[in-house]
Amino acid sequence: MLGEPQILGQMKQAVKNAEAAGSLGLVLNRLFQRTFAVAKDVRTRTDIGSASISMAAAAVRLAERIFPSLAEERVLLIGAGEMIELAATHFAARKPRSITVANRTLERGAQLAARFAADAITLNELPQRLAQFDIIITSTASSLPILGKGMLERAAKARRHAPMFIVDLAVPRDVEPEAAGLDDIFLYGLDDLALIVKDNLNIRNDSVREAEVLIAEQAQGFLRWLDGRTVVPTITALQEHHDRLRATELDRALPAAGRGYRCRAGTRAACPRADQQVPARADAGTQ
């Protein structure tokens, strides 16, 4: 989905795996680093990531309109399928007060709950436990409603008018539509979230051109770096040539330096050979 960070996270993990396996070369590593840099720029300098276009993310944003802070709220997730798993990921990122997973079979619900340090209960426990939760996200394959109007009405009375936010992501519905008329019950379905997602998608589409400009700049920078790589062999050859010249000159200079004196004559022929003795200066003893 446009602007969603999940694919970027998968790419980062792929790079880590490739690096650990020793299969990430210099060029590929540079390419991915450029990719991650431009992704950060796009999300920072445009609105492409500011509006949620997944149902689960939209549910979180909608809940934040009802409650000042999700850190104080108790979340109930009904079901253990893919949609509930995604919702759990988004809500857990907000660090709510608690998360509970309710499922028909406790074992499967416990498996999902363990991933998010959450509790697990069965659907049979809902009538007694429902009033404890502030936010309810439900998505099961049940052919009949899981939450009836009567059950929610009793829960609302027990909560003493504290608001209860419910998002029904199931088809057919898990919550009786009549429950929307109850005081202090904020019930939203897929149609409601679809409108939010549509509006947010328009916001993201408007940011595409800005993002494309930033991507093009980074792409050109990478291509310039890649073109520069073609002169590396020439530079290496020059360095090796200079190293050989330096070594040759050192081989010539070191024997002369080891004689312990410097020739005073201006020509090389005037310098005595190594096997000749240097005549003593007449005034040496008077110094």
Instruction: Yes or no: say if 117 and 98 are a contact pair by the CB < 8 Å rule.
Output: no
pLDDT band, very low/low/confident/very high, at 252 (cuts 50, 70, 90): confident
HEC-encoded secondary structure of 274-286: CCCCCCCCCCHHH
Instruction: Count the neighbouring beta carbons within 10 Å of the beta carbon of residue 72.
Output: 10
**Bridge partners (DSSP) listed for residue 122:** 103
Distance, in Å, from the CA atom of 6 to the CA atom of 24, rounded to the nearest integer, reads: 22
pLDDT band, very low/low/confident/very high, at 101 (cuts 50, 70, 90): very high
55-201 is a CATH 3.40.50.720 domain: yes
- Residue 12, C-beta contacts closer than 8 angstroms, at least 6 positions apart: 36
pLDDT score recorded for residue 232: 63
Q: Is the pLDDT of residue 105 over 80?
A: yes
What letter does residue 68 receive in the DSSP assignment? Answer: S
Closest-CA residue to 53 (of 200, 229, 167)? 200
Distance, in Å, from the CA atom of 52 to the CA atom of 181, rounded to the nearest integer, reads: 27
pLDDT band, very low/low/confident/very high, at 286 (cuts 50, 70, 90): very low
Instruction: Yes or no: say if 265 and 271 are a contact pair by the CB < 8 Å rule.
Output: yes
Share of the chain above pLDDT 70, in %: 79
> Who has greater pLDDT, 2 or 214?
214
Instruction: Yes or no: say if 193 and 59 are a contact pair by the CB < 8 Å rule.
Output: yes
List the single range of 36-40, 68-72, 281-285 with lowest mean pLDDT. 281-285
Q: What are the structural domain ranges in the chain?
A: 6-49+207-227, 55-201
pLDDT digits (tens, 9 = 90+) for 115-139: 999 999 999 999 999 999 999 999 9
Tokens 């010249």: give the residue.
245
pLDDT score recorded for residue 225: 82
